Amino acid sequence: MSSERPSLRSLLFVPGTRTGWLAKAEAAGADAAILDLEDAVPAEDKPAARRQVAAAVAAHTGDMALFIRINPLDSWAAAEELRAVAHARLTGVVVPKVAGPDDVRLADRLLSWCEREHGLPDGHLALVPLLESAAALHDARDIGRAAPRVAYLGAVTGRGGDVERAVGYRWSPSGAETLALRSRVLLDVRAAGVPCPVGGLWTTIGDLDGLRAFAEQNRSLGYEGMMAIHPSHVPAINAVFSPNPEEIARFERLIVAVDEARARGAGAITFEGEMVDEAMAVRARAALRRAKR
């Protein structure tokens, strides 16, 4: 199932107590919304938020993918939370505070149990482990390989929060202090065969130029999308992680040129001043497929 997951450019967090904001997320153009039952919900409000989120998922009819960030899987209460929210209209579950592969395997078993209980196909629900400790970041490859349903995995760094405390970096707008970390985690995720790696976060709401530069840096590393905390960030993220018209036109020309060369029995050819071959055409075709989706 994991290899069939669609690429997602923008995954916007929405508080579990504010499910009415899903309309704002969809209006902003988010590819996905993450209904948050963890940090965004005070302890005393979690039971009510769980019911509210489950109802919102069941009532969802739009094209936007829906995820739920549950609470850490360290008690049976969290397992009951999974049972409450599992639904055919749910795309996946975001699991916080993952310590290593064993946590992923536990989440995978619980999700399989929920799928059978709700009559869903095995592997229907994607699993998004959050790498929020030094150990989890170090073991990204093993975490990515722990279950076939793992998708949308990557280094989610930012100002403050668990990752900064765990690693000890000093945040700067350029992101230079986490560049090596994001690069290494991305390589681990790709080596594990996990589809659609996503990064994040940009926490300064009003700094759209900084957000765009950070998103472009993530895209240049190989990430396919980013998590976001505010609807105003979605258009910039979508633009960065989408091929522009010029890129699409070049992909189309490149494919035609390579196909014509192959018909003549040629391999590598000169195309618009660069050497290209079938490998470049494969990448261009994949980019066009993502653009159409």
Residue type at position 233:
H
Residues of the chain with pLDDT > 70: what percent? 99
Tell me the C-alpha distance between 137 and 166, whole Å: 10
Q: Higher pLDDT residue, 8 or 2?
A: 8
- State mean pLDDT over 98-102: 95
277 is known to lie in a ligand binding site = no
83-92, 185-194, 216-225, 257-266: range with lowest mean pLDDT: 257-266
Q: Under CATH, what is the fold of the domain 2-240?
A: TIM Barrel (3.20.20)
Average pLDDT taken over every residue of the chain: 91
Helix, strand, coil percentages in the chain from 3-state DSSP, rounded to 5: 50, 15, 35
Other beta carbons within 10 angstroms of residue 24's beta carbon come to: 16
Quote the CA–CA distance of 141 and 101 in Å, as a whole number.
Answer: 9
pLDDT at residue 292 tops 90: no
Which of the listed ranges 59-73, 140-154, 262-276 does the model predict with the highest average pLDDT? 140-154
Neighbours of 81 (CB within 10 A): 23
Question: 166-218 pLDDT, tens per residue?
Answer: 999 998 888 899 999 999 999 999 999 999 999 989 999 999 999 999 999 99
Q: Is the pLDDT of residue 2 over 70?
A: no
What would the pLDDT profile of 3-30 be if each residue is shown by its tens digit?
A: 478 889 999 999 999 999 999 999 999 9
Distance CA 108, CA 98 (A): 12
Whether residue 171 contacts residue 159, with contact meaning beta carbons closer than 8 Å, is answered with: yes
Residue 280 · residue 250 · CB < 8 Å: no
122 in a labelled binding site:
no
Residue 279 has pLDDT above 90, yes or no: no
Contacts of 119 (CB under 8 A, 6+ apart): none
State pTM to two decimals.
0.87
Domain residue extents for the chain: 2-240, 245-292
Paired residues of 227 in beta bridges: 11
pLDDT given for residue 293 in this prediction: 63
Residue 291 · residue 6 · CB < 8 Å: no
Which amino acid is it at 126? A
> Is 162 annotated as ligand-binding?
yes
**Whether residue 1 has pLDDT greater than 60:** no
